[in-house]
Structures are given as structure tokens and as C-alpha cells.
Amino acid sequence: MSHSLHQSLAARGYRLTAARRAILDTLLDSGGHLTADELTDLVRGRSAGIGRMTVYRTLELLCGLGLLRPVYQGTGAAHYVLMHDGHHHHLVCSGCGRVIEFDECALGDLPARIAGRYGFRVEGHLLELYGVCVECS
Amino acid sequence: MSHSLHQSLAARGYRLTAARRAILDTLLDSGGHLTADELTDLVRGRSAGIGRMTVYRTLELLCGLGLLRPVYQGTGAAHYVLMHDGHHHHLVCSGCGRVIEFDECALGDLPARIAGRYGFRVEGHLLELYGVCVECS
DNA sequence: CTCTGTGCAAAGGATTTGCACTACG
DNA sequence: CGTAGTGCAAATCCTTTGCACAGAG
């Protein structure tokens, strides 16, 4: 499990450097939902001397491979979420801005229907539900 | 149809100024998928003298009302998409970055199940499918 | 009339280059 | 060894404030 990201990189011919290893490990341990800066700080706590740009570039690389996804949670910096098993599901509260993850995947045969209709091969997805959480009701 | 946004604002006590009217009309006509800057240019073509910040503030307002949503398409500026009828569906190609909209909504009774489990009232959603389009295969 | 909304300019952040240097494979 | 990857600093770009003025209700 903690090797899937590393192997995904290696398998595509990308080098597994110390910096990338630290970034990947931090991402996996943190569970996602981090900005680039938050991630940089965490990475540096684990392995000093890693530059902000290396973090940015690694994030960009992972996004290009479909393993990570930037989401815009209102204001400020982009948050990056891991696409565990190719998908990710959010509940976003309009009141307090809180983000809750949930696992239930209700897509059914939609990917197959999309493939049939648009010739589009679906590899992953992000579903965000917007509304109001219990506390904000 | 072209009045739903205007009425949503008016009904909540927001003023329907000339600038907001122009921005709302442009948004509706363009079909969405615009950055703030692209929208500003379009708005100015229709009604000169409208400032960039007015556009930003109107976008922020609409996002707060759940009528619009910022999405992060890779790099650069945020793209804003209209939440027609509270939902929006994307096909995003990892190859060329193209974004295709589709209408099929496959959520079924998920909102009801989420409400039961998390006490979260679902008002809208964004579904993004990632993969490879026909041309990039 | 009053208070919300607007526009400008300037500040504040986040992200991105350019380039010499390091180290993975 | 050669090339992909790194780190720093500076540049660039997007977005947000502060404040005086205009216009909607």
C-alpha cells in the first residue's frame, strides 16, 4: 500500500529520489487534503532541506499521472487530494466550509455508459456533494 | 431561464446593479468554464467600464450561494462553472486537458443515504470523471 | 436618504521560471 | 557517466484589501 505510489513512478521511468520518497510518504501518511505549503512543512519535518519547488513539481507530476488531484476549496491555495483507488468523494459544507470524506461510491455503470457514448476511457473520478452539515443546520 | 440567477440574487436581498446584470448575462451566455479574467474581458465587451474586482466579488457571491463553483483545471487561474439545477458533470482528459460536459446524472438515492448517515443536507454536486478521450487514445 | 456595491491602485500570496549543481540508474 | 531531478532567488500571475465615490431601493 505504501508502495503503490512509489511503484507507479518507477514503472513509468521516473527516478525515485530521496526527495520524492519523502514527499510520497508524507502524502500517504497525511491522508491528503493538504496545500502545497502545508505539505512542504510536513516533508521538511521528516527530511530537512527539501525545497518548495520540488514539492510543487512532484505534485504536478502526480497530478499528470492521475494519482492526485488539485481542488479549490474556496480561497487561497489549492488543496491536493489523493485519488485512492482512482476515486475520491467529498461532502462540502457551504456554512462552515468543512470537508468530510465519504467512501460510498454510487456511480454504478456510468463509466461504461460514458465509454460507450463518448469513447472516453474513465480511469478515476471525484465526486463533491455541496450542502449543509449537521452543525450548520 | 436567463432570469433565474437574477432572481436568486434579488430574492436574497442583493441589489441588481448594472454590473451584476452584465456579469450574470455573460456567464449564462458563455456556458461557463471561464476564468475570472476571461469573464472580465467578455463582460467589458458587452458593457464597458466594469472593474476586475467587481467580477471577482460577484463570482464570490455566486459561489457562496451555491450557484457557481470554482474548479482547478491544472494550472493557473481558477475556472468557474455554473451549477445548472444544482449539479454539473465533467469529463477531464489527462492527455490534452480538454473538458467535456455531460448531463447524465447517476447519483440515484445517494443524497438521501448521505443525509441519513451524516445528517448532511445535499443541495448540489459536481462530478468529474478523469481519463483519456478518443483523440488521445 | 442610506447603505450596499463599485472601481482603482496597491498589497499580498501562490505558483512558475532560469540556471548551476547533485545524484539516481 | 549522462541525464533527470533539485534548490535557490527572482519573476510572474492571480486574488484580495483599503478607501472614496456612485447608485439601488
Question: How many C-beta atoms surround the C-beta of residue B12 within 10 A?
Answer: 9
**In A 84-123, which Cβ lie closer than 7 Å to strand C?**
none
* Helix (H) or strand (E) run with residue A76 in it: none
Contact between chains at A118 and B102 (C-beta distance less than 8 A):
yes
Query: CB atoms < 10 A from the CB of A104, how many?
Result: 10
Assign a CATH topology to domain B2-82: Arc Repressor Mutant, subunit A (1.10.10)
How confident is the model over B21-74, as pLDDT tens digits? Answer: 999 999 999 987 899 999 999 999 999 999 999 999 999 999 989 899 999 887
The CA–C1' separation of B82 and D20, in angstroms, is 34
With a cut of 60, say whether residue B1 has pLDDT above it: no
Check if residue A49 sits with its Cβ under 7 angstroms from strand D.
yes
Whole-angstrom distance, CA of residue B48 vs CA of residue B25: 14
Distance, CA of A86 to CA of A64 (rounded, Å): 13
| Distance, CA of A14 to C1' of C24, in Å | 10
Q: What is the pLDDT of residue A23?
A: 97
Joined grid coordinates for residue A37:
505549503
Mean pLDDT estimate for chain B: 91
Where are chain A's structural domains? 2-82, 87-131
Contact assignment for A131 to B122 by CB distance below 8 Å: yes
Is residue B68 a contact partner of residue B59, using CB atoms and an 8 Å limit? yes
CA distance linking residue A1 with residue A5, whole number of Å? 8
Q: What is the pLDDT along chain A (137 residues), one digit of tens a residue?
A: 446 899 999 999 999 999 999 999 999 999 878 999 999 999 999 999 999 999 999 999 999 898 999 998 877 899 999 998 889 999 999 888 889 999 888 888 899 999 999 999 999 999 999 999 998 88
Q: In this structure, are strands A121-132 and B79-82 parallel, antiparallel, or unpaired?
A: unpaired
Show residues of chain A in contact with B117, CB under 8 Å: 102
Do A2-82 and A87-131 have matching folds?
no
Q: Check CB contact under 8 Å for B106 and A102.
A: no
Tell me the nearest-neighbour CA distance from B106 into chain A, angstroms.
6
Distance from CA of A38 to the nearest CA of B (A): 18
What pLDDT sits at residue A3? Answer: 61
Tell me if A76 sits within 8 A of A113, measured CB to CB.
no
Specify whether domain B87-131 bears CATH 1.10.510.10.
Answer: no
